[in-house]
Amino acid sequence: MRADMLTSVLIELNGTSADIEASGIISTDGLMIAAALPPGMDEDRVGAMSAAMLSLGDRTAQELNRGTLEQVLIKGVTGYVLMIYAGDEAVLTVLAKPNAKLGLIFLDVKRAAKSLSELL
């Protein structure tokens, strides 16, 4: 039941912008809790990579005196990966197209992260 509610929030997030291609809520240890990924995308890989990047981001922010980590943004040739905490024990990972309007996506992702954290 809870997984269905989490998936519903992710599907709604994906529908807010044509620029969002996929999303998932992942525990900080890398386990996929719920996902709205395209067919063929490996949930385990998305979870593991998200946890690894989040851990590295946390450490980088701490070591370079940047305060508490808020988000991780990765830009590649074919798009973006955005990670933001959804509560203390989970992270929301979003994949977006390369020409995405990031301001709008950040706003939608923050709203979704808040909703997800309330469900967790």
pLDDT at 1 over 80: no
Answer for the pair 91, 25: CB distance below 8 angstroms, yes or no: yes
pLDDT of residue 6: 93
C-alpha distance from residue 5 to each of 20, 56, 61, 74 (Å): 19, 29, 32, 28
Length of the chain: 120
Q: How far is CA 3 from the centre of its chain?
A: 16
Q: What is the pLDDT of residues 108-117, one digit of tens each?
A: 999 999 999 9
pLDDT of residue 52: 92
CATH of range 2-119; options 3.40.50.150, 3.40.228.10, 3.30.450.30, 3.40.718.10: 3.30.450.30
CA distance 48 to 28: 9
Q: What is the pLDDT of residues 15-54, one digit of tens each?
A: 998 999 999 999 988 999 999 999 999 999 999 999 999 9
- Is the pLDDT higher at 23 or at 2? 23
Answer for the pair 89, 120: CB distance below 8 angstroms, yes or no: yes
Instruction: For residue 29, give both structure tokens.
Output: 């240890």
Answer for the pair 3, 33: CB distance below 8 angstroms, yes or no: yes
Q: What is the pLDDT of residues 75-116, one digit of tens each?
A: 999 999 999 999 989 999 999 999 999 999 999 999 999 999
